[in-house]
Structure formats: C-alpha cells, structure tokens
C-alpha cells in the first residue's frame, strides 16, 4: 500500500504552491526512484511524444532523461489549481554531452488521488538552444535555494 504524499487534495493556494515546490525539489534531485514514488502505481503520462503507464515506466524514462540531460536545473511555477488538479509552467536548463546548452519550457497538467499521488501528468515541452553565457539557473546541483528567483524574475 502506498503512503500519503501531502499536501493532499482538495488544494488551496498554499497547498498547491507547496505541492509544486516539492515536485520541483524532487526533480532537481535527479533521483528517478525518489521521483517515481510521487506517482500512483498506475499513473499515466504524456511527455512530448512519449506515453507512459506505471511507476516502472516512469522511473525508466527519468533514468534515460537524466543520463542525457546533464547539469539539469528546473524551476516550476504554479499556474492554476482546483480540487485535485494543478497546472504548472516550468523551465529547465541542461546541456548534452557535446556541451550544447538548452532551455526547455513547458506546461504540465496534473491530477491527484486522495492520497496525494499523481495519477496523471500531461506535459507539453519546447526546447531552445542557448549559449552557456545565456544560462539563468546557476545554483549548485540539487534543490533551488530558498529565496532564489522564480520564472517571473527571469521573464520566462
């Protein structure tokens, strides 16, 4: 049986913001097993052109993702929420093994069960090539430090 992953729905402004920040921090850990535990065992994803079902598929996807997306840094911002749903917008920066930097922008729609596990994740993402000097996310690997600016600050 899965444990609860607070905050739990129905979300209010504070709990929705907290849920988004917890997700951002987990993704910035780049730990596929840890991140996958936030999703229901039968969670369904659409990520770009990939359709995934279940934690093993999610964990495998994240393992592939972070093997190629090096020096990954992510910021998520709450866009909207209601009851058991949250919408976020995000940007993350990463480089490939040749050293080419990218900024990936997108939106995600999330749905949660009563235990706070995500049952559905629909992600639309666009990639932009950037020069190393155009990077905006420079904190050390791991969670974005408290007080570090969000997307609005960077005009993203």
What are the helix and strand counts (H, E) for the chain?
A: 3, 6
Q: How far apart are CA 127 and CA 120, in angstroms?
A: 23
Would you kindly state where each structural domain of the chain is located, as residue ranges? 13-137
Helix or strand or coil: residue 1?
Answer: coil
Return the pLDDT at 125. 97
Q: How far apart are CA 37 and CA 34, in angstroms?
A: 6
CATH architecture of 13-137: Roll (3.10)
Helix or strand or coil: residue 75?
Answer: strand
User: Going residue by residue through the chain (156 aa), what tens digit of pLDDT does each one get?
Assistant: 568 999 999 999 999 999 999 999 999 999 999 999 999 999 999 999 999 999 999 999 999 999 999 999 999 999 999 999 999 999 999 999 999 999 999 999 999 999 999 999 999 999 999 999 999 999 999 999 999 999 999 999
* Residue keyed to tokens 């190393």: 132
- The DSSP bridge pattern shows strands 101-112 and 118-130 to be antiparallel
Q: How far apart are CA 112 and CA 50, in angstroms?
A: 20
Return the pLDDT at 3. 87
For residue 90, how far is the Cα from the chain centroid?
A: 8
């Amino acid at each position: 049986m899965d444990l609860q992953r607070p905050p739990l729905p129905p979300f209010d402004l504070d709990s929705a913001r907290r849920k988004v920040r917890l997700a951002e921090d987990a993704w910035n850990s780049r730990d596929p097993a840890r991140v996958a535990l936030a999703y229901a065992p039968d969670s369904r994803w659409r990520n770009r052109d990939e359709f995934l079902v279940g934690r093993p598929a999610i964990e495998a996807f994240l393992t592939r993702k972070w093997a190629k997306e090096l020096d990954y840094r992510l910021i998520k911002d709450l866009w909207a929420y209601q009851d058991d749903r949250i919408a976020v917008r995000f940007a993350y920066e990463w480089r490939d093994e040749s050293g080419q930097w990218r900024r990936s922008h997108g939106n995600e729609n999330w749905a949660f069960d009563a235990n706070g596990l995500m049952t559905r994740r629909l992600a639309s993402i666009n990639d932009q090539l950037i020069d190393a000097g155009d990077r905006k996310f420079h904190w050390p690997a791991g969670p974005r430090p408290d007080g570090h600016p969000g997307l609005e600050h960077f005009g993203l």
